[in-house]
Chain A
Amino acid sequence: MTVAEISSVTTAQTNGRYAVELQNTHIYYGSFRAVKDVSLQIERQRITAFIGPSGCGKSTVLRAINRMNDLIPGSRLEGRILFHGKNIYDPDVDPVEVRRRIGMVFQKPNPFPKSIYDNIMFGPRINGWRGTKAQADELVERALRGAAIWDEVKDKLHQPGTALSGGQQQRLCIARALAVQPEVILMDEPCSALDPISTLKIEELMLELRRNYTIIIVTHNMQQASRVSDYTAFFLMDADRAGQLVEYGPTEQIFTSPNDKRTEDYISGRFG
């Protein structure tokens, strides 16, 4: 059984409210426990920010949500991560299908050394695209429009994606993620390599995408987390150097009156 096959029957189980649920998740690299006992419910069509100092496990948790950690030798997960009520770590789940439904955008824009058009069609093609040329053109346009970059590239679709500016490359990467019609988009510090104007464009785009997608973003930029996200999760390393979830709640509450002193100290810049 695949995630796609079970999605329609299990939406009711999650009441449609949560896109992803982590239940008592522990993540190991070999014998080292990198993340300890994280339980978290990610609300659908909302932006959730993961914040915390370097090494607190937030990127590890993010990558676990679409099984990207599987690609790291020795990585292992205990607990469950539910997507439409189905544990994506069950043996019968195809990780490639998980990654199609839960896309990812990385810290550094990483367009393939191909044309803008081929960058967008890459995902659909490896997923067995069978459409016509006209349908492919339409898909490329829809993805580029969705990532708010169509107007800037429509006259140079067959030029290399690597020739675009950093901010445009990142939006191209978002368009590439949209092309396979995911439900969730994971963003790992998507603006850390971008200038302030490009950063604001990505943030505006995230707010647009929230209408149709669930977004989870890892960011070190507190102002960015407070600007764009609806919910914020604060992670911190414990005495064993394992990342743990300290506090999770509506962003407004976390950034005005957090419950945990450690959250307040981190947001105020007192450590990290």
Chain B
Amino acid sequence: MGAHHNMAHDYEYLRHTLDAMAHRVQNALHESLQALRRSDAIGASRIIRDDPDINALQRDVEDLVARFITQWQPMLRDLRRVLAMLAVAGELERIGDYAKQMAGQVRRARDANLPLLMTSELLELGALTEHIFSASIAAFLAEDVVAARSVAALDDQIDARRHAIIAALRQATLNDGSLFDAAIASIEITRALERVADRATNIAERTIYLATAAHESLNE
């Protein structure tokens, strides 16, 4: 009983570290969209500057998982839980990179005095992406399989909106070739947001595996 209590305590610390990492990534994603909204090069630079902190948190999670497995030799759901945390930390690190990539696009556009196209549509796509990310992290931390499965529907919406934006940008560049560079920047942002949603879906899949021991693909 006592030993298991200590294991629960160590697990809580690990969970707390992952939760802190998720908050940092959520913040980076939100701030990159704010930088896009305001065409804010300084805000974009801050996101790029702070990305190593997210990477450091991923290494902390890795160290804690390795120590947890060594000390407690977890089995079954306890083992799946910490393995899922390791995988989710990897997904979060990549989502942080996508936030950094979007900030890079905003900063480059600003430096080149290039107007970003379809900003309001990009921000709507961004809001949906933030929602899917928050939903998947909440489902994971609550180990809620039903909530995790609902993430798949949101991912489909994101794909549909992205395709609509790309079609509109394509038409705009066909009408006016001078918009090409600006259209590419906006497409890169849609790509980053779509990748964030994919990573969020992966987190939802990890939630299902941790809770049920069954692999379920939500991306099909």
Q: Which of A40-48, A113-121, A255-263 contacts B (4 or more CB under 8 A)?
A: A255-263
Residue of B nearest to A226 (CB): B75
Is there an interface contact between B4 and A264, defined as CB atoms closer than 8 Å?
no
Which A171-225 residues have C-beta < 8 A from chain B? 222-223
Least distance between B79 CB and chain A CB atoms (Å): 9
Is there an interface contact between B76 and A268, defined as CB atoms closer than 8 Å?
yes
The reply on B78 being an interface residue by CB < 8 A is: yes
Residue of A nearest to B3 (CB): A269
Q: Using Cβ atoms and an 8 Å threshold, which residues of chain A touch B77?
A: 264, 268
Cross-chain contact of B4 among A222, A258, A269 (Cβ < 8 A) = A269
Residue of B nearest to A270 (CB): B4
The reply on A267 being an interface residue by CB < 8 A is: yes
Is there an interface contact between B74 and A268, defined as CB atoms closer than 8 Å?
yes
Which A222-272 residues have C-beta < 8 A from chain B? 222-223, 255-258, 264, 267-271
Q: Using Cβ atoms and an 8 Å threshold, which residues of chain A touch B4?
A: 269-270
Is there an interface contact between B213 and A269, defined as CB atoms closer than 8 Å?
no
Is there an interface contact between A223 and B213, defined as CB atoms closer than 8 Å?
no
Is there an interface contact between B73 and A258, defined as CB atoms closer than 8 Å?
no
Residue of A nearest to B7 (CB): A269
Is there an interface contact between A267 and B76, defined as CB atoms closer than 8 Å?
yes
Tally of chain A residues near chain B (CB < 8 A): 12
Is there an interface contact between B213 and A268, defined as CB atoms closer than 8 Å?
no
Is there an interface contact between A264 and B76, defined as CB atoms closer than 8 Å?
yes
Least distance between A234 CB and chain B CB atoms (Å): 12
Q: Using Cβ atoms and an 8 Å threshold, which residues of chain B touch A222?
A: 73, 75
Least distance between A10 CB and chain B CB atoms (Å): 39
Residue of B nearest to A254 (CB): B76
Which A73-101 residues have C-beta < 8 A from chain B? none
Q: Using Cβ atoms and an 8 Å threshold, which residues of chain B touch A267?
A: 75-76
Is there an interface contact between B73 and A268, defined as CB atoms closer than 8 Å?
no
Which B113-161 residues have C-beta < 8 A from chain A? none
Which A47-82 residues have C-beta < 8 A from chain B? none
Task: State A258–B7 Cα separation when bound (angstroms).
Answer: 21
Q: Using Cβ atoms and an 8 Å threshold, which residues of chain B touch A271?
A: 1
Least distance between A271 CB and chain B CB atoms (Å): 8
Least distance between B68 CB and chain A CB atoms (Å): 13
Q: Using Cβ atoms and an 8 Å threshold, which residues of chain A touch B76?
A: 255-258, 264, 267-268
Q: Using Cβ atoms and an 8 Å threshold, which residues of chain A touch B75?
A: 222, 255, 267-269
Least distance between B199 CB and chain A CB atoms (Å): 26
Task: State A257–B79 Cα separation when bound (angstroms).
Answer: 12
Which B52-81 residues have C-beta < 8 A from chain A? 72-78
Least distance between A263 CB and chain B CB atoms (Å): 9
Task: State A255–B75 Cα separation when bound (angstroms).
Answer: 8
Q: Using Cβ atoms and an 8 Å threshold, which residues of chain B touch A268?
A: 74-78
Residue of A nearest to B80 (CB): A256
Task: State A123–B195 Cα separation when bound (angstroms).
Answer: 69
Known: A268-B74, A268-B78, A269-B75. 18 other contacts (CB 8 A): A222-B73, A222-B75, A223-B73, A255-B76, A256-B76, A257-B76, A257-B212, A257-B213, A257-B214, A258-B76, A264-B77, A267-B75, A268-B75, A268-B76, A269-B4, A269-B7, A269-B72, A270-B4
16 contacts between A and B (CB under 8 A): A223-B73, A256-B213, A257-B76, A257-B212, A257-B214, A267-B75, A268-B74, A268-B75, A268-B76, A268-B77, A268-B78, A269-B3, A269-B4, A269-B7, A269-B75, A269-B78
